[in-house]
Structure 1
Amino acid sequence: MYKNTFPKKRYNITLDFLNEVITKDAKILDLGVLNPFSEILRNEGYTTTNTTGEDLDIDTEAVKNNAYDVITAFEIFEHLVSPFNVLQDIKANKIVASVPLKLWFASAYQNKEDARDRHYHEFEDWQFDWLLEKAGWKIKKSVKFTNPVKKIGIRPILRRFTPRYYLIYAERVR
Structure 2
Amino acid sequence: MYENTFPEKRYQKTLEFLKELVPPPARILDLGVKNPFSEIMTQNGYDVSNTSGEDLDDHFDAVKSEEYDLVTAFEIFEHLLAPYNILREIKAKKIIASVPLRLWFSPAYQSKTDKWDRHYHEFEDWQFDWLFEKSGWEIKKTLKWTNPVNKIGIRPVLRKFTPRYYAVYAEKI
Band the TM-score falls in, shorter-chain normalisation: over 0.9
For residue 23 of structure 2, what is the aligned residue in structure 1?
23
AA of the residue aligned to 1:83: P
Write the distance in 2 (CA, Å) between the matches of 1:127 and 1:98: 13
* CA shift for structure 1 position 25: 2.3
The alignment covers a number of residue pairs equal to: 173
* CA shift for structure 1 position 168: 0.7
* CA shift for structure 1 position 112: 2.6
Q: TM-score, normalised by structure 2?
A: 0.97
Residues 121-140 of structure 1 aligned to structure 2 (within 5 Å): 121-140=121-140
* CA shift for structure 1 position 172: 0.3
AA of the residue aligned to 1:67: E
Q: TM-score, normalised by structure 1?
A: 0.96
Cα deviation, 1:6-65, whole Å, max 9, x if unaligned, reads: 210000000000010002122100000011101000011111001001000010111011
For residue 154 of structure 1, what is the aligned residue in structure 2?
154
* CA shift for structure 1 position 4: 4.2
1:91 aligned counterpart, secondary structure: coil
Cα deviation, 1:49-103, whole Å, max 9, x if unaligned, reads: 0100100001011101111110000000000000000000000000000001000
* CA shift for structure 1 position 3: 4.8
Task: Kindly report the root-mean-square deviation, in angstroms, between the aligned alpha carbons of the 2 structures.
Answer: 1.3
Residues 83-102 of structure 1 aligned to structure 2 (within 5 Å): 83-102=83-102
2:53 aligned counterpart, secondary structure: coil
Residues 1-174 of structure 1 aligned to structure 2 (within 5 Å): 3-173=3-173
List, as ranges, runs of 4+ consecutive aligned residues in structure 1 with deviation greater than 3 Å.
1-5
2:37 aligned counterpart, secondary structure: helix
2:161 aligned counterpart, secondary structure: coil
In the alignment, structure 2 segments of 5+ residues that lack a partner are none
Write the distance in 2 (CA, Å) between the matches of 1:66 and 1:117: 30
